[in-house]
Amino acid sequence: MQAQSIRADRKTYTVSDWEKLPEFPRYELHDGEAVMLASPSFPHQDACDALITEFRTYLKGKECKAVSGFAVKLEEHKDSVFIPDLVVVCDPKKITDGYVIGAPDLVIEIQAPSTAKYDRLLKFNAYRDAGVLEYWIVDPIHKTVEVFFWRETPVPVQYAGIDKVKVGIFDDLEIDLKEIFGETQNL
């Protein structure tokens, strides 16, 4: 299933309009355009679950929080609400009942063939411009991760299924991709 606009007439939506949309199917809002999210595949959801487990285990007892599938309102994008696959937020004031308000410290998008352009262009630029420190694009089919750690370099670091990913926002955390992709099967 492809990420697609809610209407062909390209009606402009506000965040208030977005909040009134039904919970399912899920929509993101990008500069006033409602974009329907595809249902995740098994490899997508499996990788997301494994990543959230790794981050929550590491963050237990720490101020930073990891959450999956939670809405993010970027202050620079008035009529935009994104629902990343996973975010890490280290400023508790940014977390409300309904949203993360402002740039998360880390955003992870798990790419599907239908969302590649959306994740790599629209979301990439929005997250970078909003001040997200680190952005991961995870491809569970090819078992790869691209890490953009913008305060060090604009060029991504590429990782494959047997590598360990150094999490840039933390000095002492590496994610072993065998733990993320080892159980994922290409369905």
Contacts of 4 (CB under 8 A, 6+ apart): 35, 36
Does residue 79 sit within a domain? yes
Amino acid letter, 11: K
**What is the number of structural domains in the chain?**
1
Print the domain residue range for 162: 40-181
10-16: long-range contacts, CB 8 A cutoff, minimum separation 24? 12/79, 13/79, 14/79, 15/73, 15/78, 15/79, 15/81
The pLDDT tens digits for 84-143 are 999 999 999 999 999 999 999 999 999 988 888 889 999 999 999 999 999 999 999 999
The pLDDT tens digits for 69-81 are 999 999 888 889 9
Does residue 140 sit within a domain? yes
What CATH number is associated with residue 122? 3.90.1570.10
pLDDT band at 154 (very low <50, low <70, confident <90, very high): confident
Does residue 45 sit within a domain? yes
